[in-house]
Structure 1
Amino acid sequence: MRETPEELDELQALLDASLSRSTTHLRSIIAERTLTAEQLVRLLTGMCTLALSTVTAKGEPRISGVDGHFLHGKWHFGTARSAAKARHLAARPVASVAHMRGEGLGVFTHGTVEILDPESGDLAEDWPNLLGYFKDFYGADAFDWDHDVVYYRLRPHWMTVYAPDTGTLTGD
């Protein structure tokens, strides 16, 4: 768990606010079948496969898979600079992601992406720590980290979790 107490508080507030402003239908499914922020960050360690949805210039949705890393209460993911999703996100920096583990866990997030790109020169102050994490995870020689790949942080404005059997997931 890499989250600070403040980050856990922010994540819990986001989860609570997202559920409270969801439809009656969604609340009826999730309300008693969800996780706390602390439970969620304990589960979302390492690489989590995400279904990433972006939007084309014509407004058409596109979905693809990415390696997701849940760090500091936010999803982080990367792709090749030449990927269609990289062009979509550069032009329209909004995205939705879903991480599902069968019928036992679903994490659904909508937000705005922040490009974590060494080539832009406009790096987040925590980029050195994130880059260290990614190099440790994938291997320092896995990519030309400055030129081949671009990373994103999804800043969520809505996130909800479906977990019908929290005890099995969390061991609580």
Structure 2
Amino acid sequence: MRETPEELTELQALLDASLARSTSHLRSIISTDRSLTAEQLATVLSGMCILALSTVTAASEPRISAVDGHFLHGRWYFGTARTAAKARHLAARPSASVAHLRGEDLGVFTHGTVEVVNPDGGAPDAEWPELLAYFKDLYGDDAFDWDNDVVFYRLRPHWMTVYAPDSAKLTTG
């Protein structure tokens, strides 16, 4: 878990506000007793997590693909090839949704806006050195041409909810 106490407080506020403004149907499925706290979520989402990423084409057609997701500092980070269709979609329309699912045990659903952390030819985000070290440790120093081949995004969430019907199953172990 890499989250600071302040980041956990911010994440908990987001989780609480998102659930509070959700539909009654969603709240009939996801409730505080079928969810995780921010601290539990940050612990459960360690390492690489496969995300279903939704983007939108120029013709407003939805597209979904899978990416390696990393939950760090209370936000999702993911990468793709700079030449991928999803990179073009996100450059033009930075709104995105992601879902991380583990069977019937866990569902994390997030809507937000992406921010590039290692722009092509631009100044990298302040977090990039820490993220690059994390990614190189995970994937290997020579897995990619880190400056030219891949683009990494931070999904700044404006809505996030967690379905976990048995939190003890996920948090004990």
TM class by shorter chain equals over 0.9
What are the equivalent positions in structure 2 for 1:15-164 lying under 5 Å apart? 15-31=15-31, 32-164=33-165
The structural deviation recorded for 1:85 is 0.1
Residues 1:8 and 2:8 are matched in the alignment: yes
Q: TM-score, length-normalised on structure 2?
A: 0.97
Over 4 Å off, 4+ runs: none
Q: Distance in 1 between matches of 2:118 and 2:90?
A: 12
* Residues 43-73 of structure 1: CA deviation (Å, up to 9, x unaligned): 0001000000000001110000000000000
Q: Aligned residue pairs: how many? A: 172
**1:117, CA displacement in angstroms?**
2.0
Q: CA deviation at 1:122?
A: 3.2
TM-score (norm 1): 0.98
RMSD: 1.0
Shift of 1:118: 4.1
**Structure 2 unmatched runs, 5+:** none
Cα-to-partner distance string for 1:104-146 (whole Å, 9 max, x where unaligned): 0000000000011242413211111111100111001000000
Counterparts of 1:20 and 1:66, CA distance in 2:
29
Provide Cα deviations, 1:25-58, integer angstroms capped at 9, x if missing partner. 1011111200000000000001000000000001
| One-letter amino acid of the counterpart of residue 106, structure 2 | L
Distance in 2 of aligned mates of 1:134 and 1:120: 20
- Of all paired residues, the percent bearing the same amino acid is 76
